[in-house]
Amino acid sequence: MDAATGKGTLRFITCGSVDDGKSTLIGRLLFDAKSILDDQIQALVNDSRTYGTQGERIDLALLVDGLQAEREQGITIDVAYRFFATEQRRFVVADTPGHEEYTRNMATGASSAQLAVILVDARKGVLTQTRRHSRIVAMMGIRHVVLAVNKMDLVRYDRAVFDRIDAQYRAFAADLGFASIQSMALSALEGDNVFTASGNTPWYRGPTLMSYLNAFEIDAPVLAASFRMPVQSVNRPNADFRGLCGRVAQGEVRPGDRIKVLPSSVQTQIASIVVWQEELEAAASGDSITVTLRDEVAVGRGDMLVAADDPPEVADQFEARLLWMSKQPLLPGRAYLFKLNTQEVTASVTDIKYREDIDSGSQLAARTLALNEIARVNLSLARPVVFAPYSDNRTLGGFILIDKLSFETVAAGMLVFALRRASNIHWQALTIDRAARAASLRQSPRCIWFTGLSGSGKSTIANLLERRLHAQGLHTYLLDGDNVRHGLNRDLGFTEAERVENIRRVAEVAKLMLDAGLIVLVSFISPFRADREMARSLFNEGEFLEVFVDASLAACEQRDPKGLYAKARRGELKNFTGIDSPYEAPLAPEVHLQSTSTAPEMLAEQIAQRLEIKP
């Protein structure tokens, strides 16, 4: 155990194609490390009779395949974490799924690992999944790989087979940037070269898997890396104590150290490091602590405390690598939540530079991303964040994207570098501002956003409302979906991705018009909730009115003023909202109009009542 104190816990993953024997290998490690206890062995014997794939023998894979569905189907679905210890150190091993559809779980296992054991079936050699997993392993920042050529017993321990696979893999992995690749000739089932050197492979000169894992040196953190601590929360039990809680992401900290609070850049000093009823002399990377500061400065969750003489970069535009993890495709322009350590801001992908073919590594053009696809993208954030490139520090450069409506985790990403664009194109501060323009027009600018099915009466009502406002002497503009598609958006079609871009452009135009002091009426089907929320987020509180023009699909279809429903039903029009493309009704619109039962004049009047547009 004392030796374990020196080596530190080793976190590693096993991965590889389905049926390469990952679960069996972990079962073997646990079994031979005596981490399997008597009652678990008895349960294993029973389970092997029911579910086993090894005939009369114990099926070691059943030790790790814990879910009923996995045991019945004989496959690993979800990542499992296992713990064992030797005289040398503690181990945490993530057993990750081989099936392509569960790749996101594999990336999850890889994110916290320092080493990857990639299994290859000696009979099959390097497969698509082997390449795919190796790329994910490399992308997640794992720099050391064990190539475990497994099932050597099934190729009569043939050295030529081993050498061929070793050469094949090294050729493939040459440009993945691994610091080391250790190939091993194994049989997890028979135990060859797992714990003890096998007499079946006299030609094999490498270490056993266990001796390699015991001796493995974890990459030391960069020497003298400067202090960084994302603030998780503010601890203020009474007026005398104000502590900042967080986990040190890099470097060391001591009382008296000069620090900066980012992004505000305010400087102060560390007064004390408090942990329970004692104060610490110092804390280092990985420690959860509470610090107090010399001065009363504004700090909150999402800020970062950093060494004053070596602050990290702050930026809002990035190039990043992205692994898409949702069944819903990535849509450029759509607003997602971006979470980077304790910083959470709205972000969107402005450009997919290219999709990376996971098999060949070649760069492909893409307009969206589907589940398990990897791409290099440009990201734009609503406000700047403090960061370091992922290759320097996983905590400061690894992020997730969260869908704003379902709250599903849709992507994992790694910041590569900040785009200079943001810092070079400064916002031009204009002398005549929005308030001045609005005042000269003597009105309060508004964005009135009409949404509803085609044929629900949006344009009719918007038109009536504009006439009424105009008659009052107000300055208005009506942006109509059809009209805008003839000009500004003539390059866009009707796929989901293009609809998102369509709405993004119109929302930005409406925003400029609001700046100009106008009352803008926007009449667009705008079928997706997330995009209307994105539009709303561009405006100040109270400036944006969502008007839901509610008519049943049947009513709209019967009306069919442009004959579009008939066309769509005949299959001549693809992606038509309500027919083969969904409409997501607003949950809490400012104005909800039932357009089938009331005359459009009355409905326009209803909206006018809601508007308070005098300055």
Partner 1 sequence: MIDHRGLRELESESIEILREAIAGARRPVMMYSTGKDSSVMLHMARKAFYPAQPPFPLLHVDTTWKFREMVNHRDRMAAESGMELIVHTNQEGLAAGVDPFTHGSSYYTDVMKTQALKQALDQHQFDVVLGGARRDEEKSRAKERVFSFRAAGHRWEPKAQRPELWNLYNTHIHSDESMRVFPISNWTELDVWQYIAQEDIPIVALYFARMRPVVQRAGTWIMRDDERLPLAPGEVPQMRKVRFRTLGCYPLSGAIESEASTLDQIIAETFAARSSERQGRLIDSDQPGSMEKKKQEGYF
Are 482 and 462 a contacting pair, CB within 8 Å?
no
Give catalytic status of residue 526 as yes or no: yes
Q: What's the one-letter identity of residue 459? A: S
Q: Sheet of 80-85: strands edge to edge? A: 80-85, 90-95, 10-16, 115-121, 144-150, 180-185
**Using an 8 Å Cβ cutoff, are 117 and 37 in contact?**
no
φ, ψ of residue 125 to 5 degrees: the values are: 75, -160
User: What is the sign of the dihedral through the CA atoms of 365, 369, 374 and 378?
Assistant: positive
Distance (Å, whole) CA 256 – CA 270: 5
How far apart CA 262 and CA 266 sit, in angstroms, is: 7
Tokens describing residue 181: 């690749």
* C-alpha–C-alpha distance, residues 232 and 204, integer Å: 50
Read off the DSSP letter of residue 302.
T
CB 402 within 8 A of CB 410: yes
Cα–Cα dist 527/586, whole Å: 9
- Interatomic CA distance for residues 26 and 32, integer angstroms: 10
Rounded CA Rg of the chain: 30
Whose tokens are 């009115």? That residue is 545
Contact by Cβ (8 Å): 300, 261: no
Least distance (Å) between residue 404 CB and partner 1: 9
HEC string for 480-527: EHHHHHHCCCCCCCCCHHHHHHHHHHHHHHHHHHHHCCCEEEEECCCC
Beta bridge partners of 318: 379, 418
SS3 string of 365-386? CCCCECCCCEEEEEEEEEEEEE
DSSP state of 598: S
- Cα dist from 218 to 81, 177, 252, 303, 305, whole Å: 19, 17, 19, 30, 27
* Identity at 164, one-letter amino acid code: R
- Fill in the DSSP letter of residue 87: S
Q: Residue 85: in which H helix or E strand, if any?
A: strand 80-85
Active-site residue identified among 134, 456, 523, 526:
526
DSSP string, 425-445: S-----SS-HHHHHHHHTS--
C-alpha to C-alpha distances, 273 to 230, 244, 299, 597, nearest whole angstrom: 15, 10, 16, 67
Q: Is 101 helix (H, G, I), strand (E, B) or coil?
A: helix
Beta carbons within 10 angstroms of residue 587's beta carbon:
10
Question: Can you tell me the distance from the alpha carbon of 67 to that of 523, in angstroms, rounded to the nearest whole number?
Answer: 50
Residue 607 phi, psi (nearest 5): -70, -45
Q: Which residues are catalytic?
A: 526
